[in-house]
Structure 1
Amino acid sequence: GWGEPLNLGAGINTTLNEDHPFISEDGRVLYFTSQGHHSIGGFDIFYSEKLADGSWSEPKNLGYPVNTTDDDLFFSPVGNGKYGYQSLFAEENVGSRDIFRYQLFETEAEYLTAIGKPPEEPIEVIEPVEEVPVVVPPVVEEPTIMYVIRPVFFDFNKYELTSDTKSTLDDLAEILQVFPLLEVQAVGHTDHKGSDSYNMMLSKKRSASVVSYITRKGIDGKRIKSIGKGEGYPVAKNNLDDGTDSPEGRQLNRRVEIIVLKPELPNVNVEEVKVPDKLKK
């Protein structure tokens, strides 16, 4: 049988979600997915190495192109760890998710180290010295961490936050903590069901729910403003071209979008609502 599960601790686990753990063949490397550890967006794939004392090293992000701004899950290295398989979204896919194979490279280089103190007198070279080739290791730049601010969505005629909504707002709260000068605005929207005045009130309640949740995470309320715009700014069709109701389109319209007020940051992106072609206005 199996022993009692042991939590790997705060070095691996965060206040967000971790998933899909995978141990390398030699038991020395742990691969896992996480929404935390300053992911590029959503779930990213990280690895951690087992130390001599049995603890785990600080997780490292595998970086692009293994990780993207979408949810990256189900990464499985094989054999000696030189290859990995992963389920990904891509434009060329046969279905919505296809399986991809990666080759993981290791950079090898030779080094020449000289030690000692400089001579006190000038040195004249009498005979030519044979040149020794030295391989200069390539400079490996740390990947820029990209942060993605996503919209949140609501059930019909509701302004209460769902578990999915809270997870998205947890990411927003983390971004606001990382960038203490960042100020944003929560803009509430509704579908077209109901009167204009009712929908205006509902959109304001939705944006207020977002602001309330973020401030309870310790973010100063002055940094996130709230506004409601009612039903007047749909991103998708509330009704299909034949006049029938479009529940999917109305779901996309029941939303709160986050707008960056200041400052503009190159590694903070605001994700637009993804609308299928058939529902685009």
Structure 2
Amino acid sequence: MKLKTVILFLIFGSLLQVVSFSQKFVKVKKKDFKIEDEGFKEAWKHVKKAGRLYKMNKKGAYAEALDDYLTALNYNEDNAALNYLTGICYLKTAEPRKALKYLDNAYFNYSGVVDDILYWLAYAYQYNYKFEEAIENYEDYQESLTPKEYKKLKYKIEKRIEECENGIKLMKNPVRCFVDNLGDGVNTKAPEYSPVFFFKDSVLYFTSRRENTTGGKKDPATRLYYEDVYMSEYSDGKWGEAVQMEYPINTKHNDAVTDISPEGRELCIYRGYKGNGDLYNSQFKGDYWKKPGKMSRIDKNKYRESSVSVTRDSMVLYFISDRKGGQGRQDIWVSYKTQDGRKWQTPQNLGPVVNTKYDEETVEISADGRTLYFSSKGHNSMGGYDVFRTHRNNDGTWTEPENIGYPINTPGDDVFFMLAPDEHFGYYASDREGGYGDKDIYEVVFLGPEKPVLTSKENPNDLIAYFAEPVSETDIEKPVNIKVIQLSTVKGIVTDALSGEPVKATLELVDNATGEVVKVVESYASTGAYSVPLPPGKDYALTAGAPDYFFHSENFVIADTSTHEVIRKDIQLQPMGVGAKIVLNNVFFDTGKATLRPESFPELNRLASLLIKYKNIRVEISGHTDSQGSAAFNQRLSQRRAQSVVDYLLSRGVNLAQLVAVGYGESMPRADNSTAAGRQLNRRVEAKILEK
């Protein structure tokens, strides 16, 4: 993964403000609050303290104020102003659905407590899926306005009513799915968001704002704890307890994960302070992440760019920006690479079909480069950010965005959506009801072919995507036609064949047609997991090796297909003990002959290097055939083939005392000789350790 830089404000910061309509501060009058002497003095201290925090207009401050307001309510639970302020604090923090009780109490005890009480009461109803009641209160609020106020607030109120109407429609046609919280191994009372999966059932990186944040301090811009990056591993059917990553990934300021490369070897993180920051790139070397390096900027004019995604061929870049020329404050923009692959053209707005006058956020392009997932407050959102998808037509235009539906989307914020390659699972962050606190990370499990949406293919690793080269704005007179290359994914887990424990192995992928090494990756030491993106329509050789293990080799073909294929290749490595043996899958002979073909040499070179390294090992090289032809002929052929392998190993410097050639002919079949597939398995050369 080659990452290009963007100027990135705190991603989560754009999601902190629950609504854009400005709430008012209403003063709690002492004469109205006091009902008796006992307990008044202490309760009044909490009211005053909460008021100071409330006026800061920061999410963390609202959470602190809420604790004090709730304490004060224990003294006087009927005070209208106090109930109003408590309700607003709930709307601004982790549990907005609880606001309804307090705003309803405020209105019941004194309907004139503040002139916008009906608006906020309506919003609380909306958050609780009570859309009919919400519409009624929005309309009542609208009627209470003066002509001047109505002109100013008309579009905001109509937008809220439209969201409620959207919610009614979406709930009548729910998506067939389960939405499951990833559990307390990942989620806490603090915000968790920006999930980045190396791949399913392996490793999850995410961002959280917890009390144990590195440095232990709060961001002055939000009064929330600074962001840190965490990691969780999937084991025994659940996500394990998240581990806080250490320096150099986490620092005393904001550190948020934004992407991981398909091979899992590069991590992109946001690093910032007081709302400003940049993207950094860290390389995984050995068993640790190297110190992140700052990347060059996408735009020197310091517009806000966040949530970026690039196609797998690194030719098309999508990103969110508030730059001039958009449809609203935050839009989706696109930039195309020039044909020589060196520069990026001037970014273009994706246009009014996709972008709205409201905010768009958290964009991701699918693996085939044709489906874009994003969150938006516009279109037919039921409130807050909803997740949408749009398809790119052959002429470069985009289809009308489609809301991916309820129960995935809620009246709150639903962001950072990604769809697994097999389309059965999706992952995203949401402040939906039933979580552990603030935003949590959820898994969506789709139920069968009846599902009305979410049928496109997508790569789960590209939430905020990786890049190829530094981006600069360049004036290009003519548009460039971009051919999007569909990549497939080969992934799996490397384990010890005896213990089942994960193994850190080096995997090499070779194009058999050219002999070119196309990818070299390492599996994770902690999980054995690996993932490799590869072009389809090719014949590949895969080799995996690790110290003190026999190497593993095999050949496979990725079909030339228009869909994104995921190919599972779990590998068991044999420890180098007496009796251990492997099949040399990449050793080839012409039919009926014992002459080695040149494409066998890389495999035998690996074996030679292994035997030279471990000079005390004695190995039997055995030849095997199928049952075609006479047994005597097959015996002689297998012996000659085994001897050919031994002779080649000797030519590469292996000691003669380490080698013995044995031909078994057709006497030790691995499969039924009555089928072509079985006969192919039986024609083989094996290496077996005799002494160590």
With the shorter chain as reference, the TM-score category is: 0.3 to 0.5
Of Structure 1 and Structure 2, which has the larger fraction of its residues in strand? 2
> TM-score, structure 1 length as denominator?
0.43
TM-score by length of structure 2 reads 0.19
**Higher helix residue share:** 2
